[in-house]
Structure 1
Amino acid sequence: MTETRSYRDQHLKTACSSCSVLELCLPLGLTGAEIERLDTLIIQRLKVKKGSALYRAGDPLRSLYAVRLGSFKTSVLSIDGREQVTGFQIPGEMLGLDAISTEQHTCDAVALEDSEVCPIHFAHLEKLARELPSLQHNLNKILSREIVRDHDMMMMLGNMNSDERLAAFLLNMSQRLNSRGYSSRNFVLKMRREEIGSYLGLRLETVCRGIAHLRDQGLVEITGRDVNIQDMDGLKQLIVGCHRHLS
C-alpha cells in the first residue's frame, strides 16, 4: 500500500517549528529561518491507522518520514516467508532511510498503533540540504545513527544470551522514551511479544521465559504490555556483565 493510495484523504498541514518532537528530529540545531525553509517541504502530515503500512518493500522512494505520533515496526520477509522485524520507531525518529541507496524500499513499515508522520519529499530534501550545511549535517547524523544501531544489533545477536538481549531491549526503550519526556521506569510496549522475539532473534517461549527470569531477579515486572523497571541499576549491570565477559 503506497503513500498516495493509502493517505490521499488524510492530509493535514503541520509545522516543524511547533512540533512536540522538534528537539529529536531533522530540524535539531537549525536556526529559525532554516526551520522555516524545511517547513516548506512538509506540506502535510499523514495519519496511519494501526496495522496499516506506510510503505511496503518494493515501493519507490518518494519521501522520508519523521514519526510525529505513535510508533512503527519495520520488517522484511525471510526466504521461508516468515516476518523478520528489523526495528521499532517512535516519535522523533525517521523512516524510509532504507530506500536511499536503491531508490526502492527494502522493508515494510507498519503502524503499531494509530500514528502520524511528516513526509519530507526526498528529492526536495536533497536540494535543500545542499543549500543548508546544517541540514546536511543533521541528515548525516541520522544516517550514522542507523549504522550504529545496526552494529549494536549485530553485537546483541552475536554475543548476548536471551536474558541479556531482553534486558538490552528494555533499557533501549527506556532510554528512548525518557529522552522524549516519558517515564524511564514505567511504560507500555506497543509491540507484541512475538514481534520482540523476532527482533531479538528469540522464540516466543524464550521471550516469555526471559521475562519470568527478570521478574524472579526483581529487575522488571511486565504485566501484559505494561513495563515496570524495578531495579534499573541491576538491569544495567546485567548488560555490563555481558561486556565484561566479552572483553
Structure 2
Amino acid sequence: MIQSIPVSSQPAPINVNALKASCAACSMHQLCLPMGLDDADMSRLDAIIGRRRKVPRDTHLYRMGDPFTNLYAIRLGHFKTFQINVSGEQQITGFQMAGELLGMDAIGTERHHCSAVALEDSEVCDIPFARLEELFSHIPTLLHHFHRMMSQEITREQSVMLLLGNMRAGQRFAAFLVNLTSRYAARGYSSTAFQLRMSREEIGNYLGLTIESISRLLSRFKKLGVLQVSNREIVVLDPARLKAMAAGTEKCD
C-alpha cells in the first residue's frame, strides 16, 4: 500500500526543513517543491489547504454534475473516474493515485463532468479553488506550475484516445502497465512489483476490452515471461520487453 507522511492542514509556524521532508511524500509536492518556494510562500500555500479526510473504499468523492468548489489532492490510495453514458452504463475515464489532483475537469463549467470513487480506503486534502486562485495572483510561479499540470492532464487524455483508437488489445494492455510502472517510479515506489488496485473488469472497461481479454492477456504475458501474476499482485520480469510491446515493436497478441 502506498504510504504517506501526515502533514497538518492547519496554518502554523513552519520548520521549513521539516515541511520539505514531509511534502516530499505528500501529494502537494507537485504544487510547491518543484518550484523552490520560499518560506513565506510555502506557509501561504499550506494555509489554504482545507481538511484532510478519509474516503472509504467504493465511496464517492464527488458525482457527475456536482457543483465545483474544491480540487482534491490524493494523499493516500487510488481512485477511478467515470461517466455514465446515455445507456446508463459506466465508462471509466481514468485511474488516479497518490500525488495526483482530482477535479480539474470542472474548472471550466463549474460542474464535474465525471464521478470519482475510491478503489480502496484513501485520503485526500480539500483545496478550495477560489482560495487557490487568489494565491495565484501572489505567487505567479504557482500559477505557471498549475498550468503545466493541466497541460499534462490534457496530454494524458490524448494518449488515452490514441491508446483506444489505434492499438491492438495486447499493445493497449502493455501500454497501460507501462504507464502504471512509470507513475509508481516517479513517486519513489517499486516500478516492477505492485498490486493492481482496480479489478480486471475495470481495466477492461477503461481499455475497451472484455474481462476475458484482460485475463487472456495476463496469461499470455505470464507465459512469455514478461510478468509474474498472482491474483492482483504483479511483478514485471522484463521491463524492456514490456515497453517494446507497448511501443508496438514486439508482438504481444
Q: Does the alignment reach a TM-score above 0.5? A: yes
**Residue 48 of structure 1 aligns with which residue?**
55
Secondary structure (helix, strand or coil) at the match of 2:48 reads coil
- How far 1:43 sits from its partner (Å)? 3.0
Structure 2 match to 1:59: 66
Q: What pairs up with 1:167-182 in 2 under 5 angstroms?
A: 167-182=174-189
Q: Deviations over 1:184-224 (max 9, x none)?
A: 11000111111111111111111111111111211112221
Taking the aligned partners of 2:228 and 2:86, their CA distance within structure 1 comes to 36
Paired with 2:122 and 2:40, the residues of 1 have a C-alpha distance of: 28
Gaps of 5+ in 2: 1-6, 11-18
SS at match of 1:57: coil
The answer for the alignment partner of 2:193 in structure 1 is: 186
Contact 1:30–1:135 (8 Å) recurs in 2: no
Give, in angstroms, the shift of residue 33 of structure 1: 2.2
1:35 equivalenced with 2:48 (yes/no):
no
Once the two structures are superposed, residues 51-70 of structure 1 have per-residue CA deviations (whole angstroms, 9 ceiling, x without a partner) of 10110011100100110011
TM-score (norm 2): 0.87
Among 9, 15, 24, the alignment partner of 1:14 is 9
8 Å contact from structure 1 (residues 186, 226) kept in 2: yes
> Who is 1:75 aligned against?
82
TM-score (norm. length: structure 1)? 0.89
- Once residues 214 and 78 of structure 1 are traced to their aligned partners in structure 2, the CA distance between those partners, rounded to angstroms, is 32
Rounded Cα–Cα distance in structure 2 between residues aligned with 1:129 and 1:141: 14
Question: Which among 98, 106, 114 is matched to residue 105 of structure 2?
Answer: 98
Aligned to 2:4: none
Length, aligned pairs only: 232
Give secondary structure in 2 for the equivalent of 1:40.
helix
Look up the SS of the partner of 2:73 in the other structure.
strand
- Change beyond 3 A, Cα 1:71–1:33: same
Are the counterparts in 1 of residues 9 and 47 from structure 2 also a CA contact under 8 Å?
A: no
Q: Is the 8 A contact 2:172 2:207 kept in 1?
A: yes
* Superposition deviation, residue 242 in structure 1: 5.2
Code of the residue aligned with 1:118 in structure 2: it is: C
1:24–1:93: 8 Å Cα contact kept in structure 2? no
CA RMSD of aligned residues (A): 1.7
Identity %: 44
Deviations 1:77-96 (A, max 9, x none): 11111111101111110000
Of residues 19-28 and 159-168 in structure 1, the stretch that sits farther from structure 2 once superposed is 19-28
Aligned partners of 2:63 and 2:116 also within 8 Å: yes
Q: 1:68 to 1:160 in 2, by over 3 A?
A: same
Alignment partners' CA distance in 2, 1:213 and 1:83 = 27
SS in 1 for 2:222: helix
How far the C-alpha of 1:22 sits from its partner, in A, is 5.4
